[in-house]
Amino acid sequence: MNTQVVVIGAGHAGCEAALACARLGLQTVLMTLNIESIALMPCNPSIGGTGKGHLVREVDALGGEMGIAADRALIQGRMLNTGKGPAVRSLRAQEDKRAYHLIMTRTLFAQERLTVVQAEASEILTENGRVTGVRTDFGDVISCAAAVVCTGVYLKSNIIIGSEIWNQGPQGLLPANRLSASLQDLGLSLRRFKTGTPARVDARSIDFDRMEFQPGDEPVTPFSFLTDVPPKNKAGCYLTWTNERTHDIIRANLHRAPMYSGLIHGTGARYCPSIEDKVTRFADKDRHQLFVEPEGLDYPEWYIQGMSTGMPRDVQVDMYRSIRGLERAVLVRLAYAIEYDCIDPTALSPALNVRHIQGLYTAGQINGTSGYEEAAAQGILAGINASLYIKNEPPFLLTRDQAYIGVMADDLTTKGTDEPYRMMTSRAEYRLFLRQDNADLRLTERAHRIGLAGDERMRLAERKQRETEELVQKIAEHHMDARLRRPEEKLTVPPEWGEYLPSSVEEAELTVKFEGYLSKERARIKEARVMEEKELPPDIRYADIDGLRLEARQKLDRQKPLSLGQASRIPGVSPADINVLMVWLSKKEREGK
């Protein structure tokens, strides 16, 4: 077998990376520690959420698989933030975790040019600064021109409960202990991050009648632009709260929590804290919201979202049983904290390749992110670029004004992250333009051009674009635009106008309703592009540029920004340094003439 790309890890990043490479015509090997862990959801079996739903839509618009699999495995679907503006509305779906795993596994095994193997990667082989192969734990070498590392939380992972530590991956799976040393030998800087998950509770021990029922939307909005029949809600979720007794139990046992006893050294996620962290940081709150959600239709375990902890078993039992509706709770699986190795993503370019090693790409939690959606988005971007690298074609780059994926890639590679990075709508400065509903209009044509998005996707996107423009014109001709700008008004298409896709009607309504704001945002984007289009040569010797501060010289030399815009976002590079660079570029341009 003439392998061209090896993808290491079959989580959400690895699945998208491997499928992208194979669909772009490359012979691809996907390595996983365990076939049973493909597309595993070790934390909450849900897809989407605020900001995250945007990423899923963008992955789908590019020709990815997450949205399709999520629609097929959906248990319950909801649109979040419906009472707010369209920029922050996000899809979220509760998934059947086993069904999702099986759907993605079948997709991988059915994909042409893709081979799935169960093995551990122990070393990435290079020669003259280029990837040449991957060595497995059996000593075999898979020769390749590119490797995409998507190891998730498995690198030297430790599971921690109370004072006990196990060298394991999530849910008792094996860790990946060998690859960290290889990454360090290749010049990558490693650090330890930490995340965690709540306990799973036996459904028979939950008193659902004592909780608040949370229904799904009717009808359900699908993730994938290809899903023509909306998924159906098949189950409900529930809401309950912690109370003062819960908080008293936590406070009395803080010394036994690994985060507070000093047992955990990794940095945790600010936006997904443990329950003991929430009780400590928000001491004025007398209760915290908990969502009780099924892990599958025929699955006895339920997930208690908001109750992540690393407390000892006896404390966990007392904590959970102090909560309304969980007084008889049987903990099937204990909550745990997990520490793991990850890299400093400022070593990467916005194409997610390691700058000093040709053909080496990384995606997902190894880059310091958290979440299935962030992983999938990086996976498809890295997979596309690994393929283009082998084809000797220019990289596929997404900027901050083109996609949430572009925002995330720029944040990670330019600013870096000191804690597990989570996508939020507030990170996108052009979020009214980067809505989830228009991801296909923003990205599908570009993905179709490189051969990843199929003809059917392109046909649907073109139809939506055409119909949206027709509707906007008719709205203006019939003088409906002033009325439609009122917040409470909805667009109802008169029968005599003809038949239109519901997505086209939504797009036309939002275009008219927010045209003033969109116009201002387009002007801001145009202004910012002046800086983004000022390219910086990759061979600049920043140490030789007079006027740059020492810190700026060091940061610029290490990160090799592609443009003035990217350089301006590097921490430690001041506006004065950017002015120096602008003068230097102008001088070089004059000398070139």
Residue 271 has a pLDDT of 67
Max CA pair span of the chain: 79
228 contacts: CB under 8 Å, gap ≥ 6: none
- pLDDT above 90: residue 441: yes
Is the backbone of residue 162 left (phi > 0), alpha (psi -120 to 50) or beta?
left
**Of 303, 231, 290, 305, which is closest to residue 78 (Cα–Cα)?**
231
Mean pLDDT for the chain overall = 95
- pLDDT above 60: residue 593: no
**Of 299, 302, 303, 334, which is closest to residue 318 (Cα–Cα)?**
334
- pLDDT above 80: residue 592: no
Fold that domain 200-337 belongs to in CATH: Elongation Factor Tu (Ef-tu); domain 3 (2.40.30)
Kind of pairing between the strands at 301-305 and 200-202: antiparallel
| pLDDT class of 263 with cuts at 50, 70, 90 | confident
CA atoms 575, 577, 580, 584: torsion sign:
negative
Q: Rounded to the nearest 5°, which phi and psi values hold at 483?
A: -65, -40
**Of 151, 197, 164, 175, which is closest to residue 9 (Cα–Cα)?**
151
The CA-atom distances, in angstroms, between 152 and each of 59, 336, 379 are 18, 17, 11
Percentage with pLDDT > 90 across the chain: 91
CA 203, CA 302: separation in Å to the nearest integer?
A: 6
- pLDDT above 90: residue 487: no
Tokens of 177: 């202990």
Type of residue at 10: A
Map residue 484 onto helix, strand or coil.
helix
Percentage with pLDDT > 70 across the chain: 99
CA 191, CA 533: separation in Å to the nearest integer?
A: 33
Q: How many other C-beta atoms can be found within 10 angstroms of the C-beta atom of residue 13?
A: 34
Residue 262 has a pLDDT of 78
| pLDDT class of 272 with cuts at 50, 70, 90 | confident
Q: Which CATH superfamily is domain 534-592 in?
A: GidA associated domain, C-terminal subdomain (1.10.150.570)
CA 269, CA 230: separation in Å to the nearest integer?
A: 34
DSSP string, 505-560: HHHHHHHHHTHHHHHHHHHHHHHHHHHHTSB--TT--GGG-TT--HHHHHHHHHH-
The ranges assigned to domains in the chain are: 200-337, 459-527, 534-592
| pLDDT class of 376 with cuts at 50, 70, 90 | very high
How does pLDDT run across 38-81, given as a tens digit for each residue? Answer: 999 999 999 999 999 999 999 999 999 999 999 999 999 999 99
Residue 127 has a pLDDT of 98
Residue 311 has a pLDDT of 95
| pLDDT class of 217 with cuts at 50, 70, 90 | very high
Residue 260 has a pLDDT of 79
Q: HEC profile for 306-340? A: CCCCCCCHHHHHHHHHCCCCCCCCCEEECCEEEEE
Going across the sheet that includes 121-127, the strands are 121-127, 130-136, 141-143
How does pLDDT run across 516-564, given as a tens digit for each residue? Answer: 999 999 999 999 998 999 999 888 999 999 899 999 999 999 999 999 9
- pLDDT above 90: residue 199: yes
Residue 1 has a pLDDT of 62
Encode burial over 115-149: b for 16+ CB neighbours within 10 A, e otherwise.
bbeebbbbbbbbeeeebebbbbeeeeebebbbbbb
- pLDDT above 80: residue 481: yes
Give the mean model confidence (pLDDT) for residues 385-405.
Answer: 97
Give the mean model confidence (pLDDT) for residues 195-224.
Answer: 96
Give the mean model confidence (pLDDT) for residues 90-106.
Answer: 97
DSSP letter assigned to residue 412: I
CA 529, CA 520: separation in Å to the nearest integer?
A: 14
Give the mean model confidence (pLDDT) for residues 574-586.
Answer: 92
